[in-house]
Amino acid sequence: MVEIYYHDGDDAVDFRQPHNSGEPVPEQHLAEIGVFYRFCPTQDQVDAVAKERGYKNRDVVAISESTMGEALLPKLQAFYAEHLHEDEEIRYCIDGEGYFDVRDASDDRWIRCRVTPGDLLVLPAGIYHRFTLTDANQITALRLFKDEPKWVAHNRPDADTRPVRKDYLASLATN
Ligand code: KMT
Ligand code: NI
């Protein structure tokens, strides 16, 4: 089951550590920044969410030392660079665990979501986020895409000028 809290902001310590500030974040707050959480114990439930939201594509990624070897660290560094995507995307934890950090709206703090099997997150297009493993060092995740996989990551701050970023910020302003 997901655990959601503010990151302590200490980036000098290994990013796979929990970095729990001790301040929890209610699921409702995630919803306010456009992030939708759902616990899905079966893949049928994942399929239902995907269908409901018009998703057409998916892939499975296994991120660990044994599946990726020397490619793991550069991959993790890329996932951990603050970025956004052009499309809404779903991430579902099949096995293992991971941290999805999403930027809060008002004061730019990181909200950390620790996902374990069955946890599904919908990330809106244009939200700044990053991902890392926990100290368990492995996750197998399903990534769902609306159309063709558009997992190209656009890093901050260059992505600030993208229309998708502006649209995302405009959607917050109307909440
Ligand atoms: C993302 O969008 O940052 C990712 O897909 C991270 C890897 S999914 C476990
Ligand atoms: Ni991403």
Q: ipTM more than 0.90?
A: yes
Mean pLDDT of 97-101: 98
Sheet holding 36-39, edge to edge: 36-39, 119-123, 89-96, 138-145, 57-64
Specify the pLDDT at position 142.
Answer: 97
Q: How many structural domains are present in the chain? A: 1
Looking at residue 151, its pLDDT comes to: 75
Q: Answer whether 164 contacts ligand 1 (Cβ < 6 A).
A: no
Q: In this structure, are residues 31 and 25 in contact, taking their beta carbons and an 8 Å threshold?
A: no
The stretch 87-112 carries a mean pLDDT of: 96
- Atom of ligand 1 minimally distant from the CA of 85: 2
Contact status, residue 167 vs residue 125, Cβ threshold 8 Å: yes
- Answer yes or no: is 85 a known binding residue: yes
pLDDT at 147: 83
* Contact partners, residue 82, CB within 8 Å, separation at least 6: 103, 128, 129, 130, 155, 156
Give the confidence band of 16 by pLDDT, cuts at 50, 70, 90: very high
pLDDT digits (tens, 9 = 90+) for 125-172: 999 999 999 999 999 999 999 887 667 899 999 999 999 999 999 999
Give pLDDT, residue 87. Answer: 93
- Residue nearest ligand 1's atom 2 by CA: 151
Contact in structure between 115 and 121 (CB atoms under 8 Å): yes
* Ligand 2 centre distance from Cα of residue 26 (Å): 22
**Per-residue model confidence (pLDDT) at position 61:** 96
Sheet holding 83-84, edge to edge: 20-24, 3-7, 110-115, 98-103, 129-133, 83-84, 154-155
Rounded Cα distance between 124 and 35, Å, is: 6
Does residue 11 register a pLDDT over 70? yes
Establish whether residue 100 lines the binding site of ligand 1, counting it when its CB lies within 6 angstroms of any ligand atom.
Answer: no
**In this predicted model, what pLDDT tens digit does every residue of 56-85 receive, in sequence order?**
999 999 999 999 999 999 999 999 999 999
29 is in an annotated binding site: no
pLDDT of residue 119: 98
* CA-63 nearest atom, ligand 1: 9
Q: Which ligand is nearest to the CA of 98?
A: 1
The C-alpha atoms of residue 138 and residue 141 are separated, in whole angstroms, by 10
Q: What is the CATH number of the domain that holds 98?
A: 2.60.120.10
Say which DSSP state 9 is in: -
User: pTM of the predicted model, to two decimals?
Assistant: 0.95
φ, ψ of residue 63 in degrees (nearest 5):
-110, 110
pLDDT score of 175 more than 70: no
Domain span at residue 105 reads 3-173
**pLDDT higher for 12 or 32?**
32
* Ligand 1 atom closest to residue 139's alpha carbon, by position in its atom list: 9
- Would you say residue 101 has pLDDT above 90? yes
- Tell whether residue 83 is among the known ligand binding residues: yes
Span 30-49, pLDDT tens digits: 999 999 999 999 999 999 99
